[in-house]
Structure formats: structure tokens, C-alpha cells
């Protein structure tokens, strides 16, 4: 074992999206950085998460478009899906992005990359293979892994998680998904559109963290596509059948039942990757949800920060990148950098998409902050009509003085439309600010402006306002 001790300014543990952002930013400012990664550069997002799932969803969307051409005067066609070619497309997309996250690129930026597993030796030192690293600051960016629940019989059957499902080259005959969150429902729709039969089993409510009204509209749409979604239903045990088939025994409000399928995907949540770090030796407190950090993302060891999934909270790539920016501000510039969770949006990339930021209607009401809820349907938008994408609506939750405190969008392009609303909430804008901008016509973003204008609809019948108009007319 080497006796040499590396002494960088910053040691980043984990080369996922957040860790790479910290390493690149610090290196570009001329700061010495050691980056440690035990597995694949790019982490979960590039290799098993955001990138491959969106590539698979895109393939499914193309297949679905072929089935639904008649409304445009184009004959419907049943697509001939080559699933092996679909998966080749998925891996081509990963390969196209991978150079941006590669060891070679980061080495060229001046980052020292160590491809080993890291563990803390004490409060100021990390061991990674033969290397010892004594840094001024450490950033834990180890991400998360699929959480596999203790289901009877699970060890006797073959099952997949999001880390392994993209290794398949054959389309499942009947895909059974345990878990009705964003990952489960995205994979359900993608596989259904590519020709598989799909059943989703969710112990609670599907999309339980989203606005209940909007989530229900999306679930109904997915059911209309032929996806069997069973909510408030638990997987009791698993049974291996002949020829690789799986029987899933479930129990729910409608009693016990058995579902026979060919493939099982477990999508029941994620847990932070902290087990190998020996955090106790560093004096870093943590629990099952992640490292315990303050609103500056600092752990109980003042030298150690945690970001992204490792810090608990919302588990999204853009959150890890947001955290990375905060710790760079704090470590390099000693600037105030506090996490503001209310400005963090999220999107479920089904078709239609479901996007959210801030408080839901129910949350605002429970917290006593609700003023008005503004709505506008896609069906009353000209662009949506032209493209026959009329399913969905926007809900804008307003507080005192018309301040925007929450937005949920269900519909085509909801994720892209959410960018403007994320800016609005981050800057504390009011409905009046939204009514003041000019939207190009025809665009679906007009849906949000029309909803904002409706905030003033009750003013049109106001006797005071009408009296003022009559008075002003006296002057010509």
C-alpha cells in the first residue's frame, strides 16, 4: 500500500452528475481536485436512469404515433418493433453522452480520477485502493441504488431493477412492475407501447407524491392504453413457474390474487449509497434516508458535505446539480449557500408528462397559504388542438397578493413548460408578472398565461370597476 498521501483542496466521492459538476467547476477555477468513483463514470443518470429511460420512452412514443395517425388523415399502422434494435438505440444514446463524463475528459480538466472504492479512515482522511487522500473539504456524491424490499420468494426468481432492465434485448411478454412511482410508470408505458403486456402493483397510491387530482388523470390515461394498474395492493410473495415464468401473489382491498408474468421489475424506491464509506469513522451522522446535513448541505463533520441522493430529500439529477452549485459557492467563495427546496421542480416523463413545483393545492390549504387556484385546459389551446394533444391542464396555486406558490402541469411538453414556472417561483413572481409577458402564438405555453389572466376574471363583474370605467368615459 502506498505511503503517499494526496492533499487536494477538494475530494469528491462519486462521479455521478452532482459529483462531476463539483469536480469540473472546482478544476476550472484552478482548485486541486481528486475524484473517486468505484464503478461507472456518469453514475446512475447516464447509465441506468434518466438517459436510458428517456431514450426508451422516445421509442415507445414513436411506436404509439404510428398507431394513432388516423386523426391526421394518415392510416393507423401497427408498428413492427425490433426490441433488440430499440435497446441498441438506448445504448447508442448512452455512448453519445458518455465522453462528456469520461475519465479522459476530467483528467484533461486537471482532475485526478481514482477508480476505486472510497472509505473514511478518520475525520480528515479517505482511503481509495492504495491511495490516501487528506483534503481540505470532502463532498459525498455517491448517489443511490434500487431499494429491493424483503419479499418472500424474491431470491428464487429472476428480477430486474432500473440498473439491469436495460440489459435486456428481448421484449417481455408480460412485464409485472412492483412500484407505481415515476420509474415504475415510465417503464410501464414505454414497454406497453413497444408491445408488452404490463401490470403495475403499488402498495399505496400510484404517484403518491404528486397532486392527487393530476395524478389520477394521468393514471386513467395510462389505464386507457391498456396498462393494468393495481393500487393499494401489496406483493405478498413470489413463485417461480415453468419456463422462467413468475407468479406474483398479491393482496389488496379486493382480496388475494395471483398474477402470472414473464418478467419482474422492482421499482419500489431508492436508498443512498453510503454503506461502504465508514462514515462513523469520520464523525458523519446518517440514517436510512441519507447523510444528515444542514441547509448548507454540511454534515456533522464540518469538512464533509453531501449532495444529491446521498443527502436525502428529492432524488433527481437536477437536484444533485443544484446542490453542486451550492457547495461550490460555499467551499470556494465562502458565500451564503442555503438549499431552498420549494424551488425544486420534478417531472414524470410519461405521455402526457406530469410536472410539479412548490405547494400542491392541498398542501397550500393545509398550511393556510391558499388564495386562489387557477386552471386552464390544454383543450382550449390552439396549438394543442392543432397537434391533437388536448389531454391535460395547468394548475397554478397562488398565495397572498397573487404570489405564485405552486404549479402542476399535466400535458404534452409539461417538463419544458415547467422551466418558466421554476424561474417564477425562484424569483418570487406574482400572477401579474406572468400576465405582463407576450407569448408567441401559437404555443402551448400560452396555457399558463391564460390561467394567470383568469386570476382577474372576477374583477370584470365588479360594480366598483364598472363604475370606474363609466366615470372615465365622461372624459371622452
Same fold, 5-145+271-341 and 154-269: yes
By residue count, the chain amounts to: 476
pLDDT for 313 equals 87
Whether 327 shows a pLDDT value over 90: the answer reads yes
Mean pLDDT of 72-96: 97
pLDDT for 463 equals 81
Percent of the chain with pLDDT over 90: 93
Whether residue 130 is annotated as binding a ligand: the answer is no
Instruction: Give the residue extent of every domain in the chain.
Output: 5-145+271-341, 154-269, 352-458
Whether residue 60 is annotated as binding a ligand: the answer is no
Of residues 466 and 223, more confidently modeled: 223
Whether residue 353 is annotated as binding a ligand: the answer is no
pLDDT for 473 equals 83
pLDDT for 442 equals 97
pLDDT-derived band at 1, boundaries 50, 70, 90 = very low
pLDDT-derived band at 288, boundaries 50, 70, 90 = very high
Whether residue 183 is annotated as binding a ligand: the answer is yes
pLDDT for 465 equals 73
User: Tens of pLDDT along 289-324?
Assistant: 999 999 999 999 999 999 999 999 899 999 999 999
User: Tens of pLDDT along 145-198?
Assistant: 999 999 999 999 999 999 999 999 999 999 999 999 999 999 999 999 999 999
**CATH code, 5-145+271-341:** 3.50.50.60
Whether 128 shows a pLDDT value over 80: the answer reads yes
Whether residue 179 is annotated as binding a ligand: the answer is yes
* Listed range (45-54, 278-287, 451-460) with the worst mean pLDDT: 451-460
Return mean pLDDT, the chain. 96
Closest CA to 91 of 64, 59, 63, 66: 59
Whether residue 233 is annotated as binding a ligand: the answer is no
Superfamily classification of domain 352-458: FAD/NAD-linked reductase, C-terminal dimerisation domain (3.30.390.30)
Whether 3 shows a pLDDT value over 80: the answer reads no
Fold exhibited by the domain 154-269: FAD/NAD(P)-binding domain (3.50.50)
The rounded Cα 156 to chain-centroid distance in angstroms is: 31
pLDDT for 469 equals 75
Mean pLDDT of 114-131: 97
Kindly report the number of other CB atoms within 10 A of residue 238's CB atom: 20
User: Tens of pLDDT along 227-262?
Assistant: 999 999 999 999 999 988 999 999 998 889 999 999
pLDDT for 253 equals 81
Q: Which residues of 281-320 are buried (b: 16+ CB within 10 A; e: fewer)?
A: ebebebeeebbbbeeebbbebebbbbbbbbbbebbbbbbb
Whether residue 142 is annotated as binding a ligand: the answer is yes
pLDDT for 283 equals 98
Mean pLDDT of 121-142: 97
Whether residue 229 is annotated as binding a ligand: the answer is no
User: Tens of pLDDT along 14-27?
Assistant: 999 999 999 999 99
Q: Take residue 78 and report the three cell numbers written for it.
A: 401497427
Whether 374 shows a pLDDT value over 80: the answer reads yes
**272 near 142, Cβ under 8 Å?**
yes
Whether residue 144 is annotated as binding a ligand: the answer is yes
List the beta bridge partners of residue 178: 201, 266
What is the full DSSP assignment across 249-266?
EEEETTEEEEEEESEEEE
pTM assigned to the model: 0.94
Whether 403 shows a pLDDT value over 90: the answer reads yes
Closest CA to 177 of 161, 156, 157, 194: 161
Whether residue 54 is annotated as binding a ligand: the answer is yes
Amino acid at each position: 500500500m502506498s505511503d503517499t498521501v494526496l492533499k487536494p483542496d477538494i475530494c469528491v466521492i462519486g462521479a455521478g452528475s452532482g459529483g462531476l459538476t463539483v469536480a469540473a467547476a472546482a478544476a476550472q477555477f484552478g482548485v486541486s481536485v481528486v475524484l473517486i468513483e468505484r464503478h461507472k463514470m456518469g453514475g446512475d443518470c447516464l447509465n441506468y436512469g434518466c438517459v436510458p429511460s428517456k431514450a426508451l420512452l422516445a421509442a415507445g412514443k414513436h411506436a404509439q404515433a404510428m398507431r394513432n395517425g388516423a386523426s391526421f388523415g394518415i392510416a393507423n399502422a401497427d408498428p413492427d418493433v425490433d426490441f433488440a434494435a430499440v435497446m441498441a438505440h438506448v445504448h447508442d444514446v448512452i455512448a453519445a453522452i458518455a465522453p462528456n463524463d469520461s475519465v479522459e475528459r476530467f483528467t484533461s480538466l486537471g482532475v485526478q480520477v481514482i477508480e476505486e472504492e472510497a472509505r473514511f479512515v478518520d475525520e480528515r482522511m479517505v482511503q481509495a485502493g492504495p491511495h490516501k487522500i487528506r483534503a481540505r473539504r470532502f463532498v459525498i456524491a455517491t448517489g443511490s441504488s434500487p431499494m429491493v424490499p424483503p419479499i418472500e420468494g424474491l431470491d428464487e426468481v429472476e428480477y430486474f431493477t432500473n440498473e439491469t432492465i436495460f440489459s435486456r434485448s428481448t421484449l417481455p411478454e408480460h412485464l409485472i412492475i412492483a412500484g407505481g412511482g415515476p420509474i415504475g410508470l415510465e417503464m410501464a408505458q414505454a414497454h406497453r407501447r413497444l408491445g408488452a403486456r404490463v401490470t403495475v402493483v403499488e402498495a399505496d397510491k400510484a404517484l403518491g407524491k404528486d397532486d392527487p387530482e393530476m395524478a389520477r388523470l394521468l393514471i386513467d390515461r395510462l389505464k386507457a392504453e391498456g396498462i393494468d394498474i393495481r393500487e393499494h395492493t401489496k406483493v405478498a410473495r413470489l413463485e417461480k413457474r415453468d419456463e422462467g415464468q413468475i407468479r406474483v401473489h398479491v393482496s389488496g382491498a379486493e382480496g388475494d390474487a395471483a398474477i402470472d408474468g414473464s418478467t419482474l421489475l422492482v421499482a419500489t424506491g431508492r436508498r443512498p449509497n453510503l454503506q461502504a464509506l465508514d462514515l462513523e469513522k469520520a464523525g458523519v451522522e446518517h440514517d436510512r434516508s441519507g447523510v444528515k446535513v444542514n441547509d448548507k448541505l454540511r454534515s456533522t463533520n464540518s469538512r464533509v458535505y453531501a449532495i444529491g441522493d446521498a443527502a436525502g430529500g428529492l432524488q433527481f439529477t437536477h437536484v444533485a446539480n443544484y446542490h453542486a452549485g451550492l457547495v461550490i459557492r460555499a467551499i470556494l467563495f465562502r458565500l451564503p449557500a442555503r438549499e431552498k427546496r420549494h424551488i425544486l421542480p420534478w417531472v414524470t416523463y410519461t405521455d402526457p408528462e406530469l410536472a410539479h413545483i412548490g405547494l400542491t393545492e392541498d398542501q397550500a390549504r393545509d398550511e393556510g397559504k391558499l388564495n386562489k387556484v387557477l386552471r386552464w385546459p390544454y383543450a382550449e389551446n390552439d396549438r394543442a388542438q392543432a397537434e391533437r394533444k388536448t389531454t391535460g391542464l395547468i394548475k397554478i396555486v397562488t398565495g397572498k397578493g397573487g404570489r405564485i406558490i405552486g404549479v402542476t402541469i399535466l400535458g404534452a411538453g409539461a417538463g419544458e413548460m415547467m422551466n418558466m414556472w421554476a424561474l417564477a417561483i425562484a424569483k418570487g413572481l406574482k400572477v401579474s408578472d406572468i400576465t405582463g409577458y407576450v407569448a408567441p402564438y401559437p404555443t402551448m405555453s400560452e396555457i399558463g398565461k391564460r390561467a394567470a389572466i383568469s386570476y382577474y376574471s372576477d374583477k370584470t363583474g365588479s360594480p366598483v370597476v364598472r363604475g370606474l370605467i363609466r366615470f372615465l368615459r365622461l372624459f371622452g
